Amino acid sequence: MKQRNKELLNTIKDKFNLSISFIKAKQNVKLPPIIKMDYEIFTIKIQFIDFVLISPKHQESESIKRINMIQEKYNLPLLYLSENIILPLQQQFLKSHISFISEQMVYLYPLLLLKKNRGEIIEKRKSIPITIQPLILYILYNDKYHEYFDIETFQSELNYSTPSLYRHIKDLEDLSLINVKKDGRTKLFQLNKKISFKDMIKLLRSPVKETIFIKDEDFQHINKNNRYCLAGKSALHQYNLAVSEQCYAVFYKDTKGTAWDKLNYSSRYYEEYDEIQKWYYDPKSIIEIMKDLHAYDQNNVDPISLYLSLRDSGDDIRVGDAIEMLFENIERIYGWQTI
C-alpha cells in the first residue's frame, strides 16, 4: 500500500478514535487479472464493520464498473482509498453508500462523514435511529426461537407499516446488524453475530424522550387503562436496589391529550410525586413481543430498554452495581459468542 494511503488511514484512526485492523479474507475470491493489476485489495475491520478495502494503483484506474464488480465478488461493504478521488466518482459513492477516504473527504458509511471544505463538518453516528429500536429489540428477544425471521413474522408482531418495515430492515442491513439471504422469492433475516452483543447494545439509544414529575394520585387517575410500566431505579428492585420514589414509563404519544395538559408538572422530584418517563416507543408493546414473558416481571419495562435508560446513571455505587448486574443478566440470557 502507498505510504500516503497508510498515513490517511492512521489519521482517521487517531483523530476519531476508531479501531482499525487488517484481517485475513474469509473467502477465496477470484477476480479478473485486469482488476488485480489495477487495484490493491485488502480486508479491513473498522470498529465492528468488515470492509473490502481497495486502492487504485494508478489514478486512471478509477472505474465504477470495476469497483462494483469487486464489491459483488466479496459481498462486503466497500471502502475506497485514494489521495484524490474525482468529484463524479465521489458523488456516485455517496449516492450508493460506498465508503471512501481521500484528502478532500472521508465517508465511512454509516460511521462517519468528514468534509474538508472551509473547515471541518463532522457527523459521527453513534447509535441506530430510535424508530428502528423496537424492531432490533424484537429480534434480540426472540432470536433463540427463530433460525431466520421473515417479513410476515415482523408484520404480525410489530406495529409498522409495510414501507416503514422494509426501510428499517434496509437500515439494519446497511449497518451490518443483520444478514439477509434469499429462499426463492422470500427474504430471510438473522442477527449478524460477527458483531459482539456488547457492541450491538452500544448502538442502541435510551428510550427516554422526556422526564417529568407529577403527583401520584394524578398519575393513577389519568392512567386508568394501565398502559404503563415500572421503570428507572424503581425497576431495579430485583437487583438489590430499594428506592422510595416511584418511576413509570409511558409512550409519549399517550401523553398528548388535554387531560395531561391540565396536570401540574414539576421538573424535579418532590415527596408524593412520581417520576414519569415519556418514551419514544410504547414500553408495554416491547413487553408483549417477548416470547419468554412468563420468566419476566410484566409490570417492569423490558430489561434491555431499562439498561439503556440507566447506563449513564451509575454515579451512586449501589445504582452502578445494580445496573452492572442487570446487564450481566441480559447478556447471559440474550447474548451470544461472537462468530
Closest of 2, 8, 95, 109 to residue 49, by C-alpha? 109
Angle between helices 303-310 and 317-334 (to 10 degrees): 140
pLDDT, averaged in runs of 10, over the chain (339 residues): 78 76 74 85 82 82 76 80 85 81 80 49 56 93 89 89 88 83 89 88 90 87 79 85 82 86 75 89 92 72 95 78 91 85
Per-residue model confidence (pLDDT) at position 92: 82
Give the three cell numbers for residue 100. Answer: 471512501
Per-residue model confidence (pLDDT) at position 315: 66
Q: How far apart are the C-alpha atoms of 131 and 93, rounded to whole Å?
A: 26
* CB neighbour list of residue 208: distance below 8 Å, 6 or more residues apart: 249, 277, 278, 279, 280, 309
Q: Is 265 helix (H, G, I), strand (E, B) or coil?
A: coil
Closest of 272, 184, 194, 283 to residue 232, by C-alpha? 283
Per-residue model confidence (pLDDT) at position 119: 35
CB 140 within 8 A of CB 191: yes
Q: How far apart are the C-alpha atoms of 234 and 244, rounded to whole Å?
A: 8
Instruction: Count Cα neighbours of 29 within 13 Å in the Cβ-side half-sphere.
Output: 20
Alpha helices, DSSP H only, in 17-143? 33-38, 64-74, 87-96, 133-142
Residue given cell 388535554 in the structure block: 258
Task: Fill in the DSSP letter of residue 206.
Answer: P
Domain 130-202 has CATH 1.10.3720.10: no
Closest of 202, 206, 339, 227 to residue 285, by C-alpha? 227
Q: Where do you find CATH 1.10.10.10 in the chain? A: 130-202
Closest of 66, 68, 10 to residue 38, by C-alpha? 66
Phi and psi torsions of 143, nearest 5°: -60, -40
Per-residue model confidence (pLDDT) at position 117: 45
Q: How far apart are the C-alpha atoms of 332 and 330, rounded to whole Å?
A: 5
CB 330 within 8 A of CB 304: yes
Residues recorded for the chain: 339
Alpha helices, DSSP H only, in 104-206? 133-142, 151-157, 162-174, 197-202
- The CA-based angle 9-51-197, given to 5 degrees, is 105
207 preceded by cis ω (within 30°)? no
Give the three cell numbers for residue 249. Answer: 414509563
Give the three cell numbers for residue 258. Answer: 388535554
Distances (CA, A) of 274 to 161, 265, 279, 332: 34, 10, 15, 32
Per-residue model confidence (pLDDT) at position 312: 80
Per-residue model confidence (pLDDT) at position 121: 34
Describe the strand order of the beta sheet including 247-251 as a list of residue ranges.
208-215, 273-279, 247-251, 229-230
Q: How far apart are the C-alpha atoms of 138 and 159, rounded to whole Å?
A: 12
Per-residue model confidence (pLDDT) at position 228: 86
pTM: 0.64
Residue given cell 416481571 in the structure block: 297
Angle between helices 303-310 and 133-142 (to 10 degrees): 130
